[in-house]
Chain A
Amino acid sequence: MRDLIGLFPYWAVVVLMMTGLYIVIAQGNLVKKLVGLGIFQVSVFLLYITAGVVEGGTPPILNDQFTSYTNPLPSVLILTAIVVGVATLAVGLALAVRIREAFGTIEEDELQPLATPEQPAQKGPGA
């Protein structure tokens, strides 16, 4: 039972990862895909932090009262990853905005026939 509860965070990671994957591959709106990618990223963060937990440990800030600390290394890696995630989100959203201005839509199935080399990029309505 104890082990089953311990597996729960990992299963939550898998559920979130698959949700993010589904949104990226199966839904057409570009902004929605970016949000789904963000969900995927957060599931990976959760995986790393879960792997770093030490039972009975405290946050990794040195203090004379404690001897057992949680692993500091996943915290460092994920701190980096979060900031990089928002940076790539910003670039992705900028691309979506430009695609909307160039083609008039950000739905994938409407973009496929438009984004062929023969047709020049036309300014869409209401850009």
Chain B
Amino acid sequence: MSAIEIFDLARTALGYGLLAIGSLAALIGAIGLLRLPEFYTRAHAAGITDTLGALGVLLGLAVLSPDLLTALKLIVVLVVALFASPTSCHALARAAFRSGVRPALDGNRPPPTVPGE
């Protein structure tokens, strides 16, 4: 096979591999959201979907895209998503903490102190 065909094959394989990783991460996040015991662990599971899931899917699509401009646009979308999604997860956890939801901790360790204003 010529160099271009090998390059295309590698690109396709990498793209679909990244898509598979992203989809798997999203599935794991969804299962965690349903099965984990309390709020903060579930928020962590949702965070997996936001970061690894978005990274895998968008990078995979960028690798598979037909031209450079589409790939660049997808990278920009990825950067924005990587800023925005963990921030919303943080805002959710912070709002829960400020309204009194506390993590279920091991009994031997002291609970976390209230964050200073």
Is any CB of A less than 8 Å from a CB of B in the complex? Answer: no
Binding site for B on A (CB under 8 A): none
Binding site for A on B (CB under 8 A): none
